[in-house]
């Protein structure tokens, strides 16, 4: 008796400390995000996402799609046509530099000589000799030392030529084997230069495009060649840009025009050249056209499963062929950016939004292409600030705007199947199992069984009222040789004596925790939990608030917290007796004071039990529970489970995951559930529990994009 007394006193002291710590953690959680060092950002795709996805094009080519089919997928309503492509294009390869060093290299014997013309005069420099070009007033001057035909030439601009095939030319180490170099003053500056490659469109320029690995499938390369040609033709038609003396830059801001191919690249160059020349003519090439006009063929590395619409990224008027398209091709496994993760320091994120701190980050406002349209941050003081999704991407160097929590679905087909899926997470060597009915009315038993199954380290199974389902029988057979005892929780109406007899006929010891009084039944299960584990607290609910107590299922699993069902205005004698035996330090009462009155809480408090009330609907309670018990459950993963009355028992079972429950309402994710997802910076993944009937795909997407 004395040892039991001291054990209970010690447990009460420790439990009280846990309650205090939990309250402090909850207070801190409401004031600032947990894990305050970084805000975890997960996403998919790389680039702006407008138009064609290059990784998507490769996946489609691998699947046998042709270039016209691929282009039509990404550019709505376009045709695949031949157009003239003999224009000369100017490509800026050095922008606003104070000088440039020009050097020729030999490809064949006697090659490597470069010629620099300026102001009507020309100097020649042999292979390896450096010609330095600098700004001189409103023009340029090119200087060369010994070995050159002249020491200098000057004029408004300079042009560098060389013999193609025998020579290449470098400008500050960037080596080219086609076209010519134009060097001119940077407009609006006093000492800076522009270096521009002037190349023939059909082969010289397009042969040098390095936007896609030349080893990729032919159809993908043809798609890229057509898009690059279309983009370049539009830029040439728009005229030379005064700011750079060019039509395009050789960067991702326009198109990457590569330097002279390396030995490895030259091995694949014939494949790329074949794609560029797919039209079979030296004067024409394929492009996508819309309504007879060459399109502005934007493209990027990949998207997050949907392409973006032009106005959502850059503003302006909608372009008919740049509409959002569902693009599963872009998220195939070979895309290295199909899923990515980065972290943003909390202070940096708060500073970007102009807030003191960030307690919640709402990313639910989406573009048609499912990228973040507007990000809304809320501080602990309630102040809010917003930022455009593209601005967020640029500000923090994110790979794309398709920010989302990765969602992994565990498919189940009803409650019995859900119990079997979760049972497989429990050791096959468990000696004890817990069995309940599977009807709507059995929710109270399902909740009561959850901490008990955890206490005995066994599976929680379900049965029909009159016979064991085939799946449950198969699970019992799988555990044959280890399973010895089954506790049946429920009245004979929920689980018949025939089911108990069937268990015994299989050589199992079957014990019923039954009776028609659910208050007494939950009290008895609570005592069974206490007999095996220390019980620092209990969950108290009424029939009315039973559904709202479901979010406590994972807490009950981790902390062995029994569920006690009580009437709204009194504490039954059997419940009171169980509390006397358990002697918990605290009680988590689910429901407002009008639903669970002082007739219940008064006797609890007079016993010295600390009462903490969780009020609101099941979605609100879910958010409160996840916040209050973040230390026990963590929040790096949450379980998205059905919250409607006809499916909520599956959510109760999902407490076995020991992660916070985020409940849905059919295809809707209620506000409280969304805010739970938006309030934790450490959230890494969402586990969707149930098939699409239980948790529709739209709800899973809504949660992932919250």
Rounded to an integer, what distance in angstroms lies between the CA atom of residue 225 and that of residue 287? 8
Query: How far apart (Å, rounded) are the C-alpha atoms in residues 294 and 506?
Result: 75
**Pick from 493, 488, 490, 494: nearest CA to 476:** 488
206 with 225: CB under 8 angstroms? yes
Structure tokens at 328: 């599963």
pLDDT > 70? residue 12: no
Pairing of strands 293-294, 360-366: unpaired
Cα(417)–Cα(654) distance, rounded to whole angstroms?
Answer: 12
- Provide mean pLDDT across the span 404-412: 95
Q: ∠ at Cα 364 (362, 368), nearest 5°?
A: 145
Retrieve residue 403's tokens. Answer: 């920010």
1 pLDDT band, cuts 50/70/90, is very low
Give the Cβ contact number of residue 173 at 10 Å: 8
Helix residue ranges, H only, 81-217: 206-207
- Quote the percentage of the chain above a pLDDT of 90: 94
- Bridge partner list, 100: 133
Report how far residue 2's alpha carbon sits from residue 6's, in angstroms, rounded to the nearest whole number.
6
Rounded Cα distance between 466 and 13, Å, is 46
The predicted pLDDT at position 92 comes to 98
pLDDT at 9 over 60: no
Distance CA 244, CA 118 (A): 19
Q: What is the DSSP string of 27-50?
A: HHHHHS-SSTTEEEEEEE-BS--B
Q: Does residue 462 surpass a pLDDT of 90?
A: yes
Q: How confident is the model at residue 504 (pLDDT cuts 50, 70, 90)?
A: very high
DSSP for 198-232 reads EEEIIIIIHHTB-SS-TTS-HHHHHHHHHHHHHHH
- pLDDT recorded at residue 6: 41
Asked if 144 and 152 touch (Cβ cutoff 8 Å), the reply is yes
Nearest one of 420, 416, 419, 431 to 479, comparing CA atoms: 431
Q: What is the pLDDT of residues 143-197, one digit of tens each?
A: 998 899 999 999 999 999 999 999 999 999 999 999 999 999 999 999 999 999 9
Q: Cβ distance 290 to 84 under 8 Å?
A: no
Instruction: Look at residue 176 in the predicted model and tell me its pLDDT.
Output: 97
**Do the Cβ atoms of 622 and 676 come closer than 8 Å?**
yes
For 348-393, write each residue's pLDDT tens digit.
999 999 999 999 999 999 999 999 999 999 999 999 999 999 999 9
Distance CA 123, CA 337 (A): 49
Query: Can you give the pLDDT at residue 4?
Result: 42
3-class secondary-structure state, position 602: helix
Q: Which of 554, 697, 568 is CA-nearest to residue 625?
A: 554
Nearest one of 471, 413, 453 to 655, comparing CA atoms: 453
Question: Which DSSP helix (H) or strand (E) runs through 54?
Answer: helix 54-62
Pairing state of beta strands 38-44 and 384-388?
Answer: unpaired
Question: Encoding tokens for residue 422?
Answer: 């979760």
* Banded pLDDT at 5 (limits 50, 70, 90): very low
Banded model confidence at residue 36, pLDDT cuts 50, 70, 90: low
Model-level pTM? 0.87
Looking at residue 386, its pLDDT comes to: 98
The per-residue pLDDT for 678 is 96
Quick one: average pLDDT of 482-511? 97
149 CB-near residues (< 8 Å, 6+ apart): 122, 123, 124, 125
Q: What is the pLDDT of residue 13?
A: 45
Question: What number of H helices and E strands is found in the chain?
Answer: 22, 36
Q: Rounded mean pLDDT of 300-327?
A: 97
- Percent of the chain predicted with pLDDT > 70: 95
DSSP 57-87: HHHHHHTT--HHHHHHHHSTT-EEEEEE---
User: Is beta strand 340-345 parallel, antiparallel or unpaired with respect to 38-44?
Assistant: antiparallel
Whole-angstrom distance, CA of residue 667 vs CA of residue 698? 6
Q: What is the mean pLDDT of the chain?
A: 94
Residues 6+ apart with CB under 8 A from 189: 96
For residues 644 and 621, give the distance between their C-alpha atoms in angstroms, rounded to a whole number.
14
Contact 662, 56 (CB under 8 A): no
Give pLDDT, residue 3.
40
> Of 673, 668, 676, 575, which is closest to residue 627 (Cα–Cα)?
676
Return the minimum-mean-pLDDT range out of 13-27, 308-322, 420-434: 13-27
Query: How large is the average pLDDT for residues 287-294?
Result: 98
Measured over the CA atoms of residue 545, residue 550, residue 554 and residue 557, the dihedral's sign is: positive
Q: 344 - beta bridge partners?
A: 39
**Model confidence pLDDT, tens digit, residues 570-628:** 999 999 999 999 999 999 999 999 999 999 999 999 999 999 999 999 999 999 999 99
pLDDT-wise least confident of 29-43, 514-528, 674-688 = 29-43
Contact 297, 75 (CB under 8 A): yes
Distance CA 234, CA 247 (A): 9
């Amino acid at each position: 008796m004395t040892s039991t007394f001291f054990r209970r006193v010690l447990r009460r002291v420790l439990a009280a400390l846990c309650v205090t710590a939990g309250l402090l953690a909850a207070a801190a959680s409401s004031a600032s995000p947990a894990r305050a060092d970084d805000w975890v950002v997960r996403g998919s795709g790389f680039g702006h996402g407008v138009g064609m996805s290059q990784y998507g094009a490769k996946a489609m080519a691998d699947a046998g799609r042709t270039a016209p089919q691929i282009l039509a997928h990404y550019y709505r309503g376009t045709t695949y046509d031949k157009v003239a492509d003999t224009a000369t294009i100017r490509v800026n390869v050095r922008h606003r530099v104070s000088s440039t060093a020009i050097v020729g290299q030999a490809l064949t014997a006697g090659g490597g000589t470069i010629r620099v013309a300026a102001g009507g005069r020309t100097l020649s420099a042999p292979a390896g000799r450096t010609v330095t070009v600098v700004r001189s007033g409103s023009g340029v001057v090119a200087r060369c030392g010994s070995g050159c035909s002249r020491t200098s030439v000057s004029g408004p601009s300079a042009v560098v030529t060389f013999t193609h095939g025998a020579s290449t030319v470098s400008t500050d180490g960037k080596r080219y084997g086609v076209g010519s170099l134009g060097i001119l003053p940077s407009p609006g500056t006093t000492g800076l230069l522009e270096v521009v490659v002037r190349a023939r469109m059909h082969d010289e320029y397009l042969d040098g495009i390095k936007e896609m690995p030349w080893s990729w499938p032919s159809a993908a390369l043809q798609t890229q060649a057509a898009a690059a040609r279309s983009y370049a033709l539009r830029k040439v038609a728009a005229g030379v840009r005064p700011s750079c003396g060019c039509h395009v830059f050789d960067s991702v801001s326009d198109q990457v025009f590569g330097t002279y191919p390396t030995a490895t690249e030259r091995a694949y160059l014939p494949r790329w050249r074949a794609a560029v020349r797919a039209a079979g003519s030296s004067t024409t090439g394929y492009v996508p056209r819309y309504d007879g006009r060459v399109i502005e063929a934007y493209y990027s590395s990949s998207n997050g499963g949907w392409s973006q619409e032009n106005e959502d990224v850059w503003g302006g008027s909608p372009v008919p062929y740049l509409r959002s398209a569902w693009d599963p091709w872009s998220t195939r496994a070979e895309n290295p950016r199909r899923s990515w993760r980065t972290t943003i320091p909390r202070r940096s994120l708060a500073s970007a939004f102009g807030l003191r701190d960030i307690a919640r980050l709402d990313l639910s406002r989406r573009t048609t292409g499912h990228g973040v349209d507007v990000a809304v941050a809320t501080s602990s003081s309630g102040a809010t600030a917003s930022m455009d999704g593209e601005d967020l991407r640029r500000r923090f160097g994110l790979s794309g705007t398709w920010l989302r929590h990765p969602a992994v679905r565990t498919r189940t087909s009803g409650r019995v199947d859900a119990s079997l899926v979760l049972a497989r997470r429990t050791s096959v060597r468990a000696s004890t199992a817990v069995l309940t009915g599977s009807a709507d009315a059995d929710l109270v038993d399902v909740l009561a069984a959850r901490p008990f199954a955890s206490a005995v380290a066994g599976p929680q199974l379900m049965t029909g009222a009159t016979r064991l389902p085939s799946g449950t029988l198969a699970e019992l057979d799988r555990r044959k040789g280890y399973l010895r005892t089954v506790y049946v929780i429920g009245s004979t109406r929920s689980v018949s004596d025939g089911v108990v007899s069937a268990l015994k006929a299989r050589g199992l010891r079957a014990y019923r925790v039954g009776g028609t009084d659910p208050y007494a039944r939950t009290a008895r299960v609570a005592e069974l939990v206490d007999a095996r584990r220390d019980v620092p607290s209990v969950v108290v609910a009424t029939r009315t608030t039973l559904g709202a107590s479901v979010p406590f299922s994972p807490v009950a699993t981790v902390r062995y917290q029994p569920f006690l069902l009580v009437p709204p205005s009194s504490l039954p004698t059997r419940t009171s007796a169980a509390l006397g035996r358990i002697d918990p330090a605290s009680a988590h009462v689910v429901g407002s004071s009008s639903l669970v009155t002082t007739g219940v809480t008064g006797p609890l408090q007079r016993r010295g039990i600390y009462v903490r009330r969780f009020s609101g609907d099941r979605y609100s309670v879910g958010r409160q529970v996840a916040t209050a018990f973040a230390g026990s459950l963590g929040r790096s993963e949450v379980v998205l489970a059905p919250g409607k009355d006809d499916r909520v028992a599956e959510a109760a079972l999902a407490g076995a995951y020991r992660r916070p429950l985020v409940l849905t309402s059919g295809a809707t994710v209620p506000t409280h559930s969304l805010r739970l997802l938006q309030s934790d910076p450490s959230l890494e993944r969402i586990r969707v529990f149930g098939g699409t009937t239980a948790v529709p795909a739209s709800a899973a997407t809504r949660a992932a994009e919250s």
